Amino acid sequence: MRKIKLTTGAVLPLDGDLLTVVEALYKEVSARHELQSSFEDMAREIQHVIEQMTDEERRTYLSESLFLNTVSYENERLGAYIKKLGQK
């Protein structure tokens, strides 16, 4: 399993599971900033991780991210529709 090093020196496994990577990244950045991480802190760390990825890894994680965003969007639409039905 390939690993990526964060700016803190912590090592993050690239196991093909985007949610695992995002959770580990968030925990590391939050712990470092005592739960007060900023958007800029997270963006900087994400950029650092992306720069260490191969093109194939970037494609894999982008595909998974787009898929998860599409599913989230569809779930929100379905939730709004069900809520609207309940109001009738």
Can you give the pLDDT at residue 55? 93
Please list the helix, strand and coil fractions of the chain in percent, rounded to the nearest 5, in that order: 70, 10, 20
Q: Is the pTM of this model over 0.75?
A: no
* Residue ranges in the chain whose pLDDT is less than 70: 16, 32-37
> Which helix or strand (DSSP H or E) is residue 52 part of?
helix 39-52
